[in-house]
Structure formats: C-alpha cells, structure tokens
Amino acid sequence: MYKKLTVLLLCVALTLGLAGGIAYAADGSAPSIDFEDGLYGFVGLDMSAGNADASVLSVVDYLGSKALKVEVQKKVPYVIFEISALLGDDVAKLASVTMDIGIDNGADDKFYACSGRIYKYFGEENEKTYDEWSVYLASRNPNAAKMAMDDDEAFIAGAGNYIVLSKEVDNYATKTGDTPVSMYIDNVCFYDAEGNMLAVDTSAMFVPRETGTDLSNLCWLTGATAFEGFAKSAGAWSQDGLEMPQEIIDALVPGSGVQIEFSSESGDMWIVMPDSAAGWMRVGGCGNGNSYINNAKSIAQIPYELIAKFCGEDKSTWGARMQCEASGAWEVYSVSVGKLVPQITLSNTVEFEGFQKSAGAWSQDGLEMPQAIIDALVPGSVVEISYASETGDMWIVMPDSAAGWMRVGNDGSAICVDGKCYITYEMIEALCGADTSTWGARMQCEASGAWEVYSVRVGTKGEMAPLSNLVSFAGFETSAGAWSQDGLEMPQEIIDALVPGSVVTINFASEDGTMWIVMPDSAAGWMRVGGCGNGNAAVKDGISQIPYELIEQYCGADKTTWGARMQCEASSAWEVYSVAVGTAAE
C-alpha cells in the first residue's frame, strides 16, 4: 500500500517536474515566441539538402493555444528560424534556445517516435553544428528540445546567422511508407549565457536563401533561348502551350533540347506537338521516350533527337505549336531551348597555383605552366576555369605555341556554365598539336568582355549521364561513418531496371564528397564499385552515378550473381537521401 502510494507520489512529482520543463520558460516569464500573435514570417524552409521537404507552415490551435505547424509533405523538413532578424544585435548574446516540439499520431492514431536536430549556423562563415531532439514516447509528446552554444561557438550580429529545426527520423513514415507526421513548435525561448530571456521582434521576416538549382539527372543547357510567354497550367492529361516563335524554331537543332521549369502533382512532364505532320504527338512521356527530370521534379529536358524520333527528322513538319502536359495537374513557369551538354566532372585535379588574374575585353593574362599542370594535361583531361566576365564567355590562349599564338575555345567550343569554363585537352591538341612540349610555356585566359579568373585547375574529365525513366530504390535513406557500408536488399523493380545502359544514381552528402556502392553478396566477392580502385563514380553536387557497365566489370556479366543487396559507402561519414536507377541517354 505504502509502496504504491510512494510510487504514485514519485510519479506525480516527476510528472510535474517534467511538465514544468515542458512549459514555456523555466523562470516563469513569457517565452520569446508563443505564436499567440499569429506571426510566423520569421520562419522559412531550407531547401538546400537533397532530402529537403517543401513543408507547409502555418499557425494553428494546438493543445489549447497557438503553435507553428509544420505539415510535412514527403521528406525531411528543415525549418529556418531567422534569429539574426528576430534578435537584432542581441543575437551575439544568444547562448541557448529551448522550444516545445509535438508530433501528430500516425494515420492509425498510434504514436510513433520522431527525432531530429537543431542546427546552428554561427560565426562569420556560418559554420554548422547541431544538437538533437526527440519525441520518443506518447507520454512525452510534446517534449522540450534544447540547443546550446559550445564554448568555441558564437553567433555574430550582422553575419546572417540562423538556426534550423529538422525532423530526420519519423518512425511512422519509416514503418508504413506513408506521409511523415506533422510537427508542432511552441514556446520558443532564447537565453543569454546567464539564463536571461532575450526579447524578440516577431515581425522580423525570413530571408530566402540561394540554394542553387537541382541539376540532378539533367544536362547543362547552354546558349539558351527563352520561349517568351510560356507560363501555363492545366489539369492532369490536359495540354496547353503556344505557337513557337521563330527564335525557338531556329534554336531547335541537333544537340539541342527543350528545358521546362515546372511543377506537377505527378512529378512528370513532357511536351505535345499537336500539329505535327506525323500526327498529334506526345514526346518525353507515355511511351514516346522519357524526359530527363531532376530529383526535385522541377526541371524537365527533352532532347531534339527525341522529338525528331517521333515527329520526323524535318523540323518544318513538326507543326506550329508546342504544348506541355503531365499525368497530374501541372504548372509550367518557363520554357527555353538551348544546347544540351552533359555536366562535366573533374577527378585527380591539379590546381594551377596562383592563377588569379583579370583583364579588359580581348586582353590576355596568365602564367607560366608549372610542371604539375603540364603533367596533368593528358588525353582525357580538361582545364576548368572559375571566372566572371561581362560577356559570359571565356577561353584560353597559348601564346607560345609552336603552332603559333593560339586561342582555344573562342569559337563557342568552350563549355561555359555558371561561372565555370571547360576546355578539353583534345581542343588544345587540335590547335596546338599532339606534342605537348610544343604548346609553349604559358597559358593565358581571355574573354570578349572585361574578365576576372579566380582559379584554374586541370583534371581527368568525366561526365554525368542525363537520366530518364528513374526507378526509385524504395526506402534507401541511410547514413554511416567513414568506410562503413549500409544498404538494402534490392527490390525486384531495381533488379529489373539494372540493364545495360542504366545508371545507379545516388543523392547523397559526405564529408569528403566521395560515394560509391558496395555489392556485398556478389559471387565475384565482396565488391566496391565506383571507388577505391574499382572504377570511379561520376560525382557532382551531391549526386554519384555508377553505370551498369561498371558494376558488370567488377561483379560479372550475369547480374543474377551480383547478390541480393546493394550498399553505399564513402571514405568519410556519409548520408544517402535516395537511390534510383535510371536510363542514360544514348
């Protein structure tokens, strides 16, 4: 009897203590943010990670008061709190943050634990570290989360520092495959080092961040011509578009392609040529080939050759109009036509030390090539120039070439994309000759407008394969430490998709940028593919591609001997957001 009573009292005491911890502020003062004013303009989404979710943010009633709801759509929400704006100069005093985090039950009305991180971006360079939170029992939902600055960490006023709340483990979604549960945030408290609550301005506004364009599975589009006025939307299986202006017709040449920036409920997108002499024609979907579509399902590319395949080689027979269509309701924001160029990757890179130069239009400047650069200039290599120029172009000059003072790449053959210019060994060889000893001592840069070069390096050239017809490897979201493997048994659809010409594409992050696969059950032995001497995966911007042919080279021609599992691995701590198998462009 006494024992039960003691337990009861202990539980009550513990509960009240915990409840006190969950409540808005340890000292009883009002929290910095309680959402009762309905304002939440100081939060936004960080979409830079490959697994970032386009969550819907709102203030709702939750457990009898207002709270910020993060309605997760599919993946991992990263919610930015704009602390620099909320706190102003006081951000420099910020030592810790607490908040209450609650989660919804699953659709079956059962509780499933979740956990995540509170990332802190601090210092002049917005360095990143994190603390972790969890809501792990129904009786601890909501639960208090805390982020604290370590001794060597400090926010700086005016540096644009911020914090990000993520929900990275969702047991409901993991177990059922359904939409992850929603998250609620309330009673956010900001403290200085002495534990004093800091006041905030909740009218502060979130500052959208440049997160870059997702070019996974795509080619670079160079020399693009915009299809003016092409902003359309329609329902599923409905078409809409415009008559093609002459500049678009002119731009449609072999090697070119149509690029569509879009959103669609179904994630797919293709074009329709309704007036084609070959008949009303879909291209890039529905059995008529497949568009290249990025992982974000926001950009689609349809090569000229695919249009020609279905509409005929003579583009004058393609008809006057181009339309868009998808299998779900869709919206197209822009259409353009340009040259489709496979994205170039560099490996085994050698820096051209000291190559920081600038000059006016049509002026050259450069340096004598160090031996390391000369040694790196071999067949299959490429010169990469990081630059800016008024006119956007850039090329190199070999002023001392035995073949004469020589510009290389100024004829449009240099590939210039997003501040990088690529000139291959073969382009130099074609103009300066096969004997590199005759190329002369110096390499210079030049452009048709005033230019500045930030760095030059030479490396082995690789290409990212543009991919279509992606088959997702369901559930392949995992992480591990350096040189550790993790993965899954391959489902039948992945085995079926692994055919000659296919490519395994991995959306990942790793500390040193490496990522390859391991086939642990291969009859040829436990096998790494795409790294560690067993070939090289093509890696760029968090995407690693391993072609079927590379797997075949190390695991054998008969894929039935490749074993049941596919794993990922890197030479540093890594995280994989998704894996898919796609079809490479022919």
Partner 1 sequence: MKNMSRIIGFTLALVLVLTSLGAVAFAAEGKRNIVIGLWWDKYYDSTHETLEDDPSYQGTISDQMRFDAVKKIEDKYDVTIEYINLTYVGTQESINTSVLAGTPDCDIYLVDTAIGVPAVMNGYALDMKEILPADSDIFTDKIIMNYLDLGNGGAYMLKPVAAQTQVEATYPLMFNLQMIQDANLEDPRVLYENGEWTWDKFLEYCQALTKDTNGDGIIDVYGFGGYEGEWFECMLMSNGTHVASDGIENFSSAEVTEVLQFMQDMYLKYNCAYPYAQESASDIMRYIYRDGKCAFSPGAAWILGANADYNWDGSAASTLEFDMVFVPWPVGPSGDQATNKMKLSNGEFYIIPVGVEDPELVYNVFYDFTDWYNGDVSIRDDAETLGWWYGITGKDLDIQDWNFEVMYECGLREQFDLVSSLSVFPDFTGFFNGDYTPAQFQETYKQEFQDALDTTFK
Q: Closest approach of Cβ 517 to partner 1, in Å?
A: 14
Strands (E), 50-203: 56-62, 65-71, 78-81, 96-103, 114-122, 127-135, 143-148, 162-170, 183-191
Q: Are strands 321-325 and 240-243 parallel, antiparallel or unpaired?
A: antiparallel
**Which range, of 11-19, 191-199, 342-350, 389-397, touches partner 1 by CB under 8 A?**
11-19
> How is 15-55 classified by DSSP, letter by letter?
HHHHHHHHSS-TTSSPPSB-STT---TTEEE---STTB--P
Q: In the range 536-575, which residues lie near partner 1 by CB under 8 A? A: 561
Are the beta carbons of 404 and 432 closer than 8 angstroms?
no
**Which range, of 326-334, 346-354, 392-400, 518-526, touches partner 1 by CB under 8 A?**
518-526
Torsion of the alpha carbons at 230, 235, 236 and 242, rounded to the nearest 10: -20
**Which range, of 126-134, 322-330, 373-381, 498-506, touches partner 1 by CB under 8 A?**
126-134
Q: Closest approach of Cβ 533 to partner 1, in Å?
A: 6
For residue 207, give the DSSP letter: -
Q: Closest approach of Cβ 119 to partner 1, in Å?
A: 14
Q: How many CB atoms lie within 10 A of CB 218?
A: 24
For residues 311 and 134, give the distance between their C-alpha atoms in angstroms, rounded to a whole number.
56
* Of residues 537, 554, 555, the one with CA closest to residue 546: 537
CB-based burial label for 431 (10 Å; 0-12, 13-18, 19+): middle
Query: Nearer Cβ to partner 1, position 7 or 403?
Result: 7
Q: In the range 49-88, which residues lie near partner 1 by CB under 8 A? A: 62-66
For residues 185 and 59, give the distance between their C-alpha atoms in angstroms, rounded to a whole number.
9
**Which range, of 85-93, 156-164, 495-503, 526-534, touches partner 1 by CB under 8 A?**
526-534
Are the beta carbons of 541 and 464 closer than 8 angstroms?
no
Query: Nearer Cβ to partner 1, position 124 or 178?
Result: 178
The verdict on 142 binding partner 1 (CB under 8 A) reads yes
The verdict on 113 binding partner 1 (CB under 8 A) reads yes
Q: Closest approach of Cβ 39 to partner 1, in Å?
A: 14
For residues 115 and 252, give the distance between their C-alpha atoms in angstroms, rounded to a whole number.
50
Q: Closest approach of Cβ 16 to partner 1, in Å?
A: 6
Backbone angles phi, psi at 219, to 5 degrees: -95, 165
Are the beta carbons of 458 and 349 closer than 8 angstroms?
yes
Q: Closest approach of Cβ 171 to partner 1, in Å?
A: 5
Out of 114, 219, 359, 580, the only residue in the binding site for partner 1 (CB under 8 A) is 114
Q: Closest approach of Cβ 4 to partner 1, in Å?
A: 8
Query: Nearer Cβ to partner 1, position 139 or 316?
Result: 139
For residues 109 and 114, give the distance between their C-alpha atoms in angstroms, rounded to a whole number.
15
Q: In the range 406-435, which residues lie near partner 1 by CB under 8 A? A: none
Q: How many CB atoms lie within 10 A of CB 12?
A: 10
Out of 380, 525, 549, 564, the only residue in the binding site for partner 1 (CB under 8 A) is 525
Out of 207, 277, 524, 564, the only residue in the binding site for partner 1 (CB under 8 A) is 524
Enumerate residues 6+ apart whose C-beta is below 8 A from 501: 548, 583, 584, 586
**Which range, of 107-115, 188-196, 248-256, 500-508, touches partner 1 by CB under 8 A?**
107-115
Query: C-alpha 417: how far from its chain's center?
Result: 17
Out of 107, 193, 523, 564, the only residue in the binding site for partner 1 (CB under 8 A) is 523
Number of residues that bind partner 1 (CB under 8 A): 54
The verdict on 11 binding partner 1 (CB under 8 A) reads yes
**Which range, of 28-36, 257-265, 298-306, 441-449, touches partner 1 by CB under 8 A?**
28-36
The verdict on 372 binding partner 1 (CB under 8 A) reads no
Out of 32, 187, 410, 424, the only residue in the binding site for partner 1 (CB under 8 A) is 187
From residue 431 to residue 470, what is the string marking binding to partner 1 with x (rule CB under 8 A)? ----------------------------------------
The verdict on 111 binding partner 1 (CB under 8 A) reads yes
Give 556-562's long-range contacts (Cβ < 8 A, gap of 24+): 556/522, 556/523, 556/524, 559/495, 559/498, 561/522, 561/523, 561/524, 562/498, 562/519, 562/521, 562/522, 562/523
Out of 175, 207, 231, 435, the only residue in the binding site for partner 1 (CB under 8 A) is 175
For residues 561 and 271, give the distance between their C-alpha atoms in angstroms, rounded to a whole number.
40
The verdict on 135 binding partner 1 (CB under 8 A) reads yes
Query: Nearer Cβ to partner 1, position 109 or 210?
Result: 109
The verdict on 136 binding partner 1 (CB under 8 A) reads yes
For residues 161 and 154, give the distance between their C-alpha atoms in angstroms, rounded to a whole number.
10
Are the beta carbons of 275 and 288 closer than 8 angstroms?
no
Q: In the range 339-358, which residues lie near partner 1 by CB under 8 A? A: none
Q: Closest approach of Cβ 550 to partner 1, in Å?
A: 17
Which residues are near partner 1 by CB under 8 A?
7-8, 10-12, 14-20, 22-24, 30-31, 34, 36, 62-66, 111-116, 132-139, 142, 169, 171, 175, 186-187, 481, 483, 523-527, 532-533, 561
